[in-house]
Structure 1
Amino acid sequence: MYINPEQFSNYATKFINILIDYSPKLISAFLILFIGLYAIRLINRVIRKIMVKRNLDPTLTKFLADILLWALRILLFVTFISKLGIETSSFVAILGAMGLAVGLSLQGSLSNFAGGMLIIVFKPFKVGDTIEAQGVIATVLEIQIFVTKMLTGNNQTVFVPNGALSNGTIINYSMQGERRADLTFSISYDSDIKKAKDILLDVLNKNPKVLKTPAPEVFVKNLSASSVDFAVRPWAKNANYGAVFSETLENCKTALDEAGISVQPFTLQK
């Protein structure tokens, strides 16, 4: 194959001229690329440290940091190719269409993800708390990105979607550290009300698991058609709540029987 030296020289000259003319854009584009990559790493480290200081869940911290990292990288890439003189409008339109399609297909998952972030940021409960939500009373084992993992009292593992959890009513039994048991004892109208009240209060005061502050309460709650209803309200630490609840039922019934006070058949428990 024969190569004309003069023609080759012309091509080389044109290439060098184009390279010289294009070099400012090329240099500035790569400067933006290298400086941008360094800035992205720096921003990512700073954001991670901030989230760790705010005690965010490690899984969420990593996930959010990764999302931020790739979002900044995509933005940097668009800026880089735009600086090189490449048309970016079509590229941005394709990215937008892809994002819309993914968002529509993962609408439920995105709702759960947003709910998980709200739970971790605003902390209506934390791992180890006993909560009531979505018809479930259980202890929180793990707050994941899309679901919250909980363990019920009968050793069943329950996964509740974070979207529904964050938008519903949550009762946190562990947040205050203390809990009140609300019980109702019904006695006959023939019984001595003052004596019954003193007996019930004495039972509460003798139980070492019942807190002195706040003080336990016993008072007439209602005069129903067939009984006098007493509200019996002892306070206990969360760890002792179950024991106080059951012991109060048993000890109050025993004490009333020993005093000859008739307990009506329907003892209400709340």
Structure 2
Amino acid sequence: MGEQIENFDVQHFIDVYVMPWGINIILAIVIYIIGKMVVKTLVGIFGKIMAKSKYDDMLVDFLKSIVNAFLMLFVIVASLDQLGVDTTSLVAILGAAGLAIGLSLQGSLQNFAAGVMLLVFRPFKAGDFVEAGGVSGSVINIGIFSTIMSTPDNKEIIVPNGNIYGDNITNYSAKSTRRVDMVFGIGYGDDLLKAKRVLTSMLDADERVLKEPAYTVAVGELGDSSVNLVVRPWVKSSDYWGLKFDFTEAVKLRFDQEGISIPFPQMDVHLDK
């Protein structure tokens, strides 16, 4: 035992093992530290570019984290390669694991991709009233995987982004003005021109009705029991429901005053004796 210790060449051990491994460890640490600094700088530049493009803050933060993770993976692989680790096998294992995870989370990845598209192209924003994913409501928040909406009766609905982006999207708040489509029926025995004059005067008196584009009052259909007048004024989007409800009530009251009838379906039953 003592002879083996005496024969142990310390200098040879240092030259063959300690020095090479020590240098590799130091270089790996240096590569990691410098790489991390470079990644931080690149991610910062990327974030500033995205911020100037006026993308959603949530999307910017998420993309920054993705870019940071992707670049840091290269830094870690370079550091391990400097230590002599077989990074080829490591990359293959990570790739196989990523594929397996991707297949198991296929639905979630679809929602994620749709969320990114919604945040990039912005077919709607928080506060807009939309019809999307089979539901209608005001958008509260657009997330990476789902969108939260509030219905007119104040129910909160969480809709997967895949359902939204894979279907038609109707944004009722996208334009500053909207056309209100209404139909009022009068009897065949009533004065048609008088009814049109009444409706026109009511539209002219309502300050919510825009002058441009001009409103429309016309005969839309000769129905089975009524002459149907189409009334289509333009209003600010915020006045849409207010004018529709108020004007419908006002027409009923005004027609009653003017002696203009509003027909309704009736059924005559005859009993044979």
1:190 corresponds to: 189
Q: 92-101 vs 221-230, which deviates more? A: 221-230
Contact kept, 8 Å, 1:209 with 1:236, in 2: the verdict is: yes
AA partner of residue 229 (structure 2): F
CA–CA distance in 1 between the matches of 2:50 and 2:82? 33
Contact kept, 8 Å, 1:203 with 1:255, in 2: the verdict is: no
Q: 66-75 vs 148-157, which deviates more? A: 66-75
1:98 corresponds to: 97
CA RMSD of aligned residues (A): 2.2
CA–CA distance in 2 between the matches of 1:134 and 1:22? 59
Per-residue deviation, 1:95: 0.2
2:56 corresponds to: 57
1:256 matched to 2:258? The reply is: no
AA partner of residue 145 (structure 1): I
1:7 corresponds to: 7
Partner secondary structure for residue 215 of structure 1: coil
Per-residue deviation, 1:22: 7.1
Per-residue deviation, 1:157: 0.7
1:245 matched to 2:240? The reply is: no
Partner secondary structure for residue 2 of structure 2: coil
1:141 corresponds to: 140
Unaligned runs of 5+ in 1: none
Q: 27-36 vs 239-248, which deviates more? A: 27-36
CA–CA distance in 2 between the matches of 1:134 and 1:198? 43
- The TM-score with structure 2 as length reference comes to 0.88
CA–CA distance in 1 between the matches of 2:168 and 2:204? 34
CA–CA distance in 1 between the matches of 2:117 and 2:165? 7
Unaligned runs of 5+ in 2: 266-273
AA partner of residue 257 (structure 1): D
CA–CA distance in 2 between the matches of 1:31 and 1:134? 51
Q: How many residues get paired?
A: 265
Q: How does 1:94-133 map to 2 (within 5 A)?
A: 94-133=93-132
- Sort the Cα spacing of 1:5 and 1:117 in 2 relative to 1 into closer, same or farther, 3 A: same
Partner secondary structure for residue 168 of structure 1: coil
CA–CA distance in 2 between the matches of 1:224 and 1:34? 80
Contact kept, 8 Å, 1:131 with 1:171, in 2: the verdict is: yes
- The TM-score with structure 1 as length reference comes to 0.89
